[in-house]
C-alpha cells in the first residue's frame, strides 16, 4: 500500500501539510482493507436484511476492537478519578490518562505533552481559543479571518466573540471547484487580524487546503493560525511542528476513537498567556476565598472530572492508526475516491460538488430530480449509510445555491464493493423517481 513515510516527511506536497503515498498496489490494499474490517464488530451488522455499508465517516467513524477493549478495560479493572489519588486504582487511571496524552503528542508531532489539552472535541477546542485567546485581544476595529468552506464550529464561536467585543469576521473566498482563492489571503491579513481560523480538509468538499503555505503567509504578517484538523487527522499526516501551527483541534470520534473526547494543541507560549476557559477542580494549584492560583499546563484548561475512558480510547485509536499507517490509509482512500467519482459520473444526472486538485475521501453529490433526503432514505433501505443535509456548512450550500447534498465519506475499512453498493442504490433511487 505504498511506502510508509518517516515522521515529519512531506515529500511532494509540503505546502498542504500532508504526506503523499507512493504507488498503491490495489490487490494488497484491498486485502488489507478487508482484513481491517474484521477489527470493527459493527461492520458485521445487517441493516434491513442487507450487509451494512457504512459511508458516513466524516460524521463519525466506527470503532475498532482495540478501542472498544481499551474503554471496557478501564471501566472493568481500574475505574477511578485521576490525579491526587494515593490508592492503586487512581494511580493506574492517572497513568493511562496521561499515557494517552503522550500518545496524542507523538501522533501530532507536538514538542511536549503539556501542549496537548483534553477537550470534548474540536468544537469545544475552538470555543476555548475564541474565549481565552481571541476575546482578550479583540475590540472594535479588530478582525478574525476564516475561510468560505468552514464548518459551523469554526464560524459561530468567532461570531460570538466578535459580537461580544465589537470585532469583525472576514472570509477568504473560494471558487466553483471548491478551492480557496489563495491570492486573496495577503489582502485580507492586516495588523487588525487577531487570528486566522482555517480548516485543513473540508467536510463537504473534501478539499485539502495548503495549510503550511497559509500558515507561512499568516505568520509573515504576525497573525497566529488555528487549524481545524477534525477531518484530516485520520486520513493524512498532521505534524504540528512541521506546520508551525499555533493551534490545532481534533475530535477523537472522527479518528476511530470514542465520542466526547478531543484535543486542543497550542504552542506553549500562547497557552501560558491564556487565562482558563472554565473554573473548578483540578485546574487549580491552590484556592482561598481571596485568590486562586491556577495549575500548570495543560491542567489549567481541564476543569472538573475528565473523560478518562475517552482519553484511554483516544490513545488506543492513535496506536491503531499508526499501526495501520497513515500513508497507507491515504493511498487506499485516494484509490477509493477516484473509483467512486468515476462510477458516479457514469450515472446520468449526477453532479459532484468539490473538484479541487487536492482532495480527501469526501464525496458530496446531487442526483437530478431527487432530494438528498429522499436519496438517503432509499439508500438506507439498501443498507447503505450516507449523510444528507447541509453538513453544518450552510455558507457552502449558499455559495453553490443549494439547500443540501448527499455525502459519502470514506474510511480505511471501505472497499470498492461498498462503492458498488452505493451506485446500485443510486440507480434504484433513479428508478423510483424517474
User: What are the residue numbers of the active site?
Assistant: 392
First to last CA, the chain: 41
358 Cα distance to chain centroid? 17
Nearest one of 331, 329, 369 to 347, comparing CA atoms: 369
Nearest one of 87, 86, 91, 93 to 310, comparing CA atoms: 93
Assess contact for 418 and 47: CB atoms under 8 A.
no
CA 84 – CA 73 distance, rounded (Å): 22
Rounded (10°) angle between helices 326-345 and 26-37: 100
384 Cα distance to chain centroid? 23
Q: Say whether 353 sits in a helix, a strand or coil.
A: strand
Assess contact for 146 and 188: CB atoms under 8 A.
no
* DSSP letter (8 states) at residue 179: -
List phi, psi (to 5°) of 351: -120, 125
CA 429 – CA 377 distance, rounded (Å): 9
Would you state the torsion angle of the CA atoms of residues 276, 281, 285, 291, taken in this order, to the nearest 10 degrees?
A: 70
Assess contact for 46 and 236: CB atoms under 8 A.
no
C-alpha cell at 274: 491564556
Amino acid at each position: 500500500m505504498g511506502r510508509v513515510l518517516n515522521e515529519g516527511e512531506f515529500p511532494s506536497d509540503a505546502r498542504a501539510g500532508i504526506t503523499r503515498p507512493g504507488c498503491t498496489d490495489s490487490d494488497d490494499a484491498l486485502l488489507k482493507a478487508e482484513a481491517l474490517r474484521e477489527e470493527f464488530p459493527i461492520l458485521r451488522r445487517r441493516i434491513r436484511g442487507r450487509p451494512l455499508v457504512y459511508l458516513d465517516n466524516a460524521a463519525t467513524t466506527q470503532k475498532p476492537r482495540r478501542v472498544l477493549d481499551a474503554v471496557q478495560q478501564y471501566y472493568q479493572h481500574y475505574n477511578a478519578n485521576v490525579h491526587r489519588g494515593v490508592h492503586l486504582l487512581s494511580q493506574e487511571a492517572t497513568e493511562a490518562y496521561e499515557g494517552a496524552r503522550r500518545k496524542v503528542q507523538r501522533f501530532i508531532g507536538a514538542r511536549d505533552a503539556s501542549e496537548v489539552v483534553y477537550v470534548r472535541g474540536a468544537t469545544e477546542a475552538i470555543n476555548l481559543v475564541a474565549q481565552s485567546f481571541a476575546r482578550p485581544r479583540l475590540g472594535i476595529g479588530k478582525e478574525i479571518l476564516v475561510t468560505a468552506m468552514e464548518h459551523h464550529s469554526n464560524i459561530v464561536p468567532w461570531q460570538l466573540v466578535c459580537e461580544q467585543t465589537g470585532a469583525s469576521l472576514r472570509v477568504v473566498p473560494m471558487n466553483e471547484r471548491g478551492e480557496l482563492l489563495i491570492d486573496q489571503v495577503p489582502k485580507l491579513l492586516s495588523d487588525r487580524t487577531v487570528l486566522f481560523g482555517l480548516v485543513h480538509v473540508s467536510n463537504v468538499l473534501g478539499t485539502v487546503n495548503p495549510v503550511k503555505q497559509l500558515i507561512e503567509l499568516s505568520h509573515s504578517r504576525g497573525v497566529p493560525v488555528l487549524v481545524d484538523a477534525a477531518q484530516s487527522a485520520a486520513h493524512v499526516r498532521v505534524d504540528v511542528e512541521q506546520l508551525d501551527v499555533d493551534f490545532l483541534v481534533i475530535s477523537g470520534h472522527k479518528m476511530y476513537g470514542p465520542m466526547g473526547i478531543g484535543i486542543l494543541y497550542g504552542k506553549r507560549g500562547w497557552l501560558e498567556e491564556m487565562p482558563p476557559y472554565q473554573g473548578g477542580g483540578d485546574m487549580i494549584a491552590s484556592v482561598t476565598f481571596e485568590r486562586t492560583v491556577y495549575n500548570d499546563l495543560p491542567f489549567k484548561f481541564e476543569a472538573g472530572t475528565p473523560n478518562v475512558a475517552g482519553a484511554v480510547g483516544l490513545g488506543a485509536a492513535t496506536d491503531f492508526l499508526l499501526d495501520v499507517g497513515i500513508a497507507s490509509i491515504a493511498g487506499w482512500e485516494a484509490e477509493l475516491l477516484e473509483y467512486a467519482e468515476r462510477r458516479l459520473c457514469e450515472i446520468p444526472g449526477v453532479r459532484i460538488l468539490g473538484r479541487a486538485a487536492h482532495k480527501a475521501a469526501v464525496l458530496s453529490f446531487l442526483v437530478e430530480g431527487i432530494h438528498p433526503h429522499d436519496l438517503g432514505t432509499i439508500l438506507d433501505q439498501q443498507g447503505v449509510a450516507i449523510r444528507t443535509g447541509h453538513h453544518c456548512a450552510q455558507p457552502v450550500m449558499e455559495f453553490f445555491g443549494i439547500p443540501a447534498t448527499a455525502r459519502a465519506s470514506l474510511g480505511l475499512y471501505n472497499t470498492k464493493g461498498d462503492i458498488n453498493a452505493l451506485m446500485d442504490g443510486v440507480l434504484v433511487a433513479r428508478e423510483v423517481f424517474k
